[in-house]
Amino acid sequence: MKRILNYIGGELVPPLGGAYLPNLEPATGAPYSEVPDSDSSDVERGVAAAQEAYPVWSRTPASERSRLLLRVAELIEDNAEDLARAESVDTGKPIRLARSLDIPRAASNFRFFATAILHFASESHATDHRAINYTLRRPRGIAGLISPWNLPLYLLSWKIAPALATGNTAVAKPSEITPMTAYRLSELCREAGLPPGVLNIVHGTGPKAGAALTGHPRVGTLSFTGGTKTGAEIASVCAPAFKKVALELGGKNPNIIFADALLDEVVPVSIRSSFDNQGQICLSGSRIFVERTIQEKFLERFVERAKTLVVGDPLEEATEQGALVSRAQFDKVMSYLQVARQEGGRILCGGDAASVGGRCSGGLFIRPTVITGLPVNSRVNQEEIFGPVVTVIPFDTEDEAVSGANATPYGLSASVWTQNLSRAHRLAERIQAGTVWINCWMLRDLRVPFGGVKSSGIGKEGGLEALRFFTEPRNVCIQFPVDPGGGTAS
């Protein structure tokens, strides 16, 4: 069985303790590879390698760092089909999605930050006629990068690329549930000629390898994407050590549809925002608010389409819905379907596991599920389910839509569908979310700030925000020479 290796100091190495965990294919339920069960000694090695590489890498010209990262992007593109297949097998997502979203975006992440660093400038402030202040931005040292299982290469590269572009070295820990494309990336980084120790990837579980990385005294910068509970744990470790932390956490995002919206556009995009990646996207619109006058019309079309989504082998071209990522995630989603019934929800479609025959008969599939009849404060409408499950909630007024949208602890993203521009602006201002999409969903421009508010996280990634996050601003103040007459020289 294929063994994944850690990437430390430019080498692919086994974990020091020699322990491995089985890596399962969610579509079959069977193990197909093994992932290192690394511990603090492996993290220590990774940090030591990152530290050794730091003095040279942090002084390497931006043009050279850019060249190497562009080479990684090219290699991802050259290997796109292999990577898409690997991502699909590892996560259970349809290969179509891995091909169209995950892998192209991983290449774009490298390309974007490789070129952004060439244009990154800092500020200067003239203080009357007395002095000039300028901001020196320097890399912060060793960055710890921890990513989740839902968009494995996409989210890992979103952290690696800006960390390295700005001259930091890094130790990354991908989710142990979906390690394969991170492993493939380490092979590609070797092929690209990335100097040893600039990027290190240590595989293993959160409580063991992840916690060792978070708590490591020489890792002063921590970028984490994952669940809100884990984020709180990480924050509590980092705060007393005064580490710089960005936390991209969970969401319970509203998708708000007004009566004047164009249903021909709303329905297909809402199907995607509800069920793409089996609903396991932090930005999924899991609570659909529909103006009451069009609720019936919307539901008729939306449910009809949800019922026809092809649930099947992720490796088949026709498949639209693959498997849930793990037994734990499958059980969690199934338990929420039970909660929905207990809370009095009406299940219009789905609501149960799907059986896919053949090689996938042991797989973890759940049919796309649409639920109505649950109040905004029900558990199903408050807690992140992270599966192919959405609720539909009617509203009568704009105020009601806004208060419903804001009525969870989360604040990651929102979609608003309306032809009324003034209303769109009003909602964009009133909804508590890091991103508000008007008449669209997941339309991403890598230059914009990205991140959540409230329990969806702190700190922003994306574009200049990421370059700022991974650098430390230092103010340098230069006083103008004083002229003999007592003033400053002009």
The residues carrying an active-site annotation are 248, 282
* 60-79 residues near ligand NDP, rule: CB under 6 A: none
Only one of the segments 3-11, 75-83, 132-140, 144-152 lies at the binding site for ligand NDP (rule: CB under 6 A); that segment is 144-152
User: Is 324:278 a contact under the CB 8 Å cutoff?
Assistant: yes
Amino acid symbol at 187? E
* 371-400 residues near ligand NDP, rule: CB under 6 A: 384, 386
3 state DSSP class of 58: coil
Choose, by CB under 6 A, the member of 9, 141, 148, 197 that binds ligand NDP. 148
In this complex, which beta carbon is closest to ligand NDP, that of residue 211 or of residue 405? Answer: 211
Report which DSSP code applies to 237: H
Residue 225 sits in the site that holds ligand NDP (CB under 6 A) = yes
Min dist. Cβ of residue 174 to ligand NDP (A): 6
In this complex, which beta carbon is closest to ligand NDP, that of residue 50 or of residue 249? Answer: 249
Residue nearest to ligand NDP (CB): 206
Other residues' Cβ atoms within 10 Å of the Cβ of residue 399: 10
Name the token pair of 211: 């916690």
49 Cβ neighbours under 8 A, 6+ residues apart: 8, 9, 10, 196, 197, 200
Torsion of CA 264, 397, 402, 377, to 10 degrees: -100
* 318-347 residues near ligand NDP, rule: CB under 6 A: none
Min dist. Cβ of residue 153 to ligand NDP (A): 13
Q: CA separation (Å) from 300 to 264, 267, 305, 348, 370?
A: 13, 10, 9, 10, 11
Query: Pairing relation of β-strands 244-248 and 219-225?
Result: parallel
* 250-289 residues near ligand NDP, rule: CB under 6 A: 250-251, 282
* 181-210 residues near ligand NDP, rule: CB under 6 A: 205-207, 210
Only one of the segments 172-180, 299-307, 343-351, 390-398 lies at the binding site for ligand NDP (rule: CB under 6 A); that segment is 172-180
Min dist. Cβ of residue 443 to ligand NDP (A): 16
Task: Give the relative orientation of helices 103-116 and 80-91 as an angle to the nearest 10 degrees.
Answer: 120
* 447-486 residues near ligand NDP, rule: CB under 6 A: 452, 456-457
User: Is 384:410 a contact under the CB 8 Å cutoff?
Assistant: yes
Q: CA separation (Å) from 174 to 33, 54, 143, 277, 373?
A: 16, 21, 14, 18, 38
Min dist. Cβ of residue 156 to ligand NDP (A): 9
The Cα–Cα gap between 70 and 51 comes to 23
In this complex, which beta carbon is closest to ligand NDP, that of residue 132 or of residue 453? Answer: 453
Residue 303 CB burial class (10 angstroms; 0-12, 13-18, ≥19) = middle
Only one of the segments 63-71, 163-171, 180-188, 221-229 lies at the binding site for ligand NDP (rule: CB under 6 A); that segment is 221-229
466 Cβ neighbours under 8 A, 6+ residues apart: 113, 162, 460
In this complex, which beta carbon is closest to ligand NDP, that of residue 197 or of residue 457? Answer: 457
Query: Pairing relation of β-strands 369-372 and 346-349?
Result: antiparallel
Choose, by CB under 6 A, the member of 79, 88, 150, 369 that binds ligand NDP. 150
Choose, by CB under 6 A, the member of 17, 227, 373, 449 that binds ligand NDP. 227
Name the token pair of 378: 């029900």
234 Cβ neighbours under 8 A, 6+ residues apart: 146, 214, 222, 224, 245, 247
Min dist. Cβ of residue 468 to ligand NDP (A): 18
**By rule CB under 6 A, what string of x and - marks binding of each residue 412-451 to ligand NDP?**
x---------------------------------------
- Helix (H) / strand (E) element for 256: namely strand 254-257
Min dist. Cβ of residue 98 to ligand NDP (A): 15
Binding-site size for ligand NDP (CB under 6 A) equals 33
Choose, by CB under 6 A, the member of 175, 255, 295, 418 that binds ligand NDP. 175
In this complex, which beta carbon is closest to ligand NDP, that of residue 116 or of residue 202? Answer: 202
Choose, by CB under 6 A, the member of 106, 211, 269, 405 that binds ligand NDP. 211
Only one of the segments 14-22, 170-178, 291-299, 422-430 lies at the binding site for ligand NDP (rule: CB under 6 A); that segment is 170-178
CA-based angle 93:95:96, to the nearest 5?
110
User: Is 65:162 a contact under the CB 8 Å cutoff?
Assistant: no
In this complex, which beta carbon is closest to ligand NDP, that of residue 75 or of residue 106? Answer: 106
The Cα–Cα gap between 398 and 431 comes to 11
Choose, by CB under 6 A, the member of 149, 289, 417, 441 that binds ligand NDP. 149
Min dist. Cβ of residue 147 to ligand NDP (A): 6
Other residues' Cβ atoms within 10 Å of the Cβ of residue 357: 9
Which parts of this chain interact with ligand NDP (CB under 6 A)?
Answer: 146-150, 155, 173, 175-177, 205-207, 210-211, 214, 225-227, 230, 233-234, 248-251, 282, 384, 386, 412, 452, 456-457
